[in-house]
Amino acid sequence: MRRLKPWVKRISAFILIAIVMNEMANLCQSQSVNIPPLKFDHITTESGLSNNAVFRIIQDKNGFLWFLTFNGLDRYDGCSFKNYSYSPEHSDYIMPGWFISMEEDSSGMFWIGDGNAGIYSFNPIAEKFTRYIHQPGNENSLSDDQILSIVIRKNGHIWIPTIQGLDELNPHTGIFKHYLHKQGDSTSISNNCVVSICEDEENNLWLMTASPGVDYFNPGTGKVMNHFIYGSASLVTSDLNSGTFAINQGKNGNIWIGSRDNGLFCYNTRTKNVNHFLHHENDSFSISDNAVSNTFEDKEGNYWIGMFNGGLDYYDHTSEKFSHFNEIKYLSSSLGGVHQVLEDPSHKIWIACDNGIFTVDPQNKKFQRYQHSDDDSYSLSNNFVSSFYRSSQGQFYVGTANLDLADDSLKKFDRFSLLENGKNIQDNSGVWNIYEDRKRVLWFATGNGLAS
C-alpha cells in the first residue's frame, strides 16, 4: 500500500475537515417541526460499497450519488451500487488510494486528486477514467504525483498545487502548463512547493507556499502580482512541517490568513492594504494567540478566529479590537480547541470544539454551553463535536463519537446508534460528515461505513 509523507497526511486531514465544514453550511435554515422516529438504512461493504472509508460524497446533475472511498469510486442509484474500482478485469479503473478531493466541472466530468498518485478525470456517461501522472522527460505532464487540492476555474481549466510547482491543465488537450520559481524573477512563484489555492472575487489566485509566504497570482497573465514574505510586515504562511494555516475570502475584498506562529493577516484586494494582528502581552485587546487554526467572517463583517492552542477571538471591525473567549468563567468551562465556526440565519454563532457545542449572540456576547453530563441521559453524548447539521425538515443532528438528535431548545439530546444486524457499525468511530441529498435522504459518514 502506498504511504503518504507525514506532512501530506496532516494537510490531508485539514482538507477533509474543510469538506466537513462545507457540508454544514445549511445549519439552522428551517422552521422547527415535530421530529419523527428515526429509522436508518446502513450502507457498508456488505451492501455493495467498495470500502467503508468514505472520503467524499457528491450528487451529480442526474441525481446519482457518488462515493469516493479508499478502494475507488462508487455510484448509488438508490437501490444498488456500481463500483468503479481497479481489478484485473477493469485495469483502467481507479486504483486504491488516499483521495484528497473530488470536484464536478460544468460538463459533468469528475476530477479526483490522489494524495500520492496524481489525478483522475472520470466521464460518468462513457464510464471512462483518464489518469494524469508525472512522466519523467515529458514536460507536458503533471509536475508531481502528490496532490493536495484541485481548483476548477470558470474556463474549465484545472489548477493543481504540487510540491514541484503550480500546474494548469487544459482538459481539452490534456496538456499541463507549469508555473515555477525562477531565481531573480519577481513575477514567478516564490516557492515550487505550493500547498493550497484560494480564488478571490476578482478571479485571481492566492497561493500558499511552503516558504517564504503567500503569492498573489494572476492566472490570466501567469504572473505573480505580489509576494507576501514571512517575517515582514505582510502576509505569512507556516513552514509545511510545523503545522497548518487558514485562508478564506471575506467580504469587501478581504482575504484573511491565519498562520501557525505569526498571527492573523488581512489583505484587501481593492485597497491593497495589509493589516497584521499579533498577540501582545500588555494589550488585552490584541489577538489572544499567534497560532490561528480557522477564521470566519459573519454577516456584519466582524471576524471569529479559532486558535490552535484553544480559545476563540472576536474581532470588531468598527472598534478594531479583539475580544477573547477561552475560559468562560460564568459557564465554568473552557472552549478548548475550536474546530468549526459558523453563523445561522438569526446571526447566532455556533462553535464546535473539544468541550461540546457553544453558541454566542454577537450583540450581547452571551454564551450558551451544551455539554455531556453523566447525570443527564439527555445531555450531549460526547463533548468532542466533529459535525452538526440541520436538515431540510428542521432536525438538528450532532456528530460526535456517536450520533445525537437535539430538540429546538438544545436542552435534550436523543442518542442513536447506527445498527446493522444488531451490530453498532459506528462503534465510537465517530460521525464525521452529514449530508442531505435532493430527495431529503440523510447520509451519515462514519469510520465504519455509511448510514442513511
DSSP string of 357-423, one letter each residue = EEEEETTTTEEEEE---TT-TTS-S-S---EEEE-TTS-EEEESSSEEEE-TTSS-EEEE--EETTE
Q: What is the pLDDT of residue 331?
A: 41
Q: Say which DSSP state 90 is in.
A: B
Model confidence at 422, pLDDT cuts 50, 70, 90, reads very low
Q: What is the pLDDT of residue 17?
A: 37
Q: Say which DSSP state 161 is in.
A: E
At 294-305, the pLDDT tens digits run: 677 777 777 777
Q: What is the pLDDT of residue 172?
A: 92
The domain 6-38+49-396 is classified under which CATH number: 2.102.10.10, 3.30.450.20, 2.60.40.10, 2.130.10.10? 2.130.10.10
Break the chain into its structural domains and give their ranges.
6-38+49-396
Average pLDDT over residues 11-25: 38
Task: Answer whether 269's CB lies under 8 Å from 257's CB.
Answer: no
Q: Would you tell me how many other CB atoms lie within 10 Å of the CB of residue 9? A: 12
Which residue has better confidence, 212 or 69?
69
Q: How far apart are CA 385 and CA 383, in angstroms?
A: 6
Q: What is the pLDDT of residue 138?
A: 95
Helices (H), 173-323: none
Q: What is the pLDDT of residue 311?
A: 64
Lowest mean pLDDT among 152-156, 380-384, 443-447: 443-447
Model confidence at 327, pLDDT cuts 50, 70, 90, reads very low
Model confidence at 428, pLDDT cuts 50, 70, 90, reads low
Q: What is the pLDDT of residue 37?
A: 43
What separation in angstroms does the CA of 271 have from each of 215, 237, 246, 267?
17, 22, 22, 9
Task: Answer whether 275's CB lies under 8 Å from 235's CB.
Answer: no
Q: How far apart are CA 205 and CA 215, in angstroms?
A: 8
Average pLDDT over residues 345-360: 77
Which residue has better confidence, 133 or 257?
133
At 270-314, the pLDDT tens digits run: 887 778 888 888 887 888 888 777 677 777 777 777 776 656 777
Q: What is the pLDDT of residue 122?
A: 93
Closest residue by Cα to residue 435 from 452, 447, 418, 448: 452
Which residue has better confidence, 202 or 158?
158
What separation in angstroms does the CA of 3 have from each of 86, 114, 356, 451?
18, 12, 34, 28
Closest residue by Cα to residue 417 from 405, 431, 403, 432: 403
Model confidence at 110, pLDDT cuts 50, 70, 90, reads very high
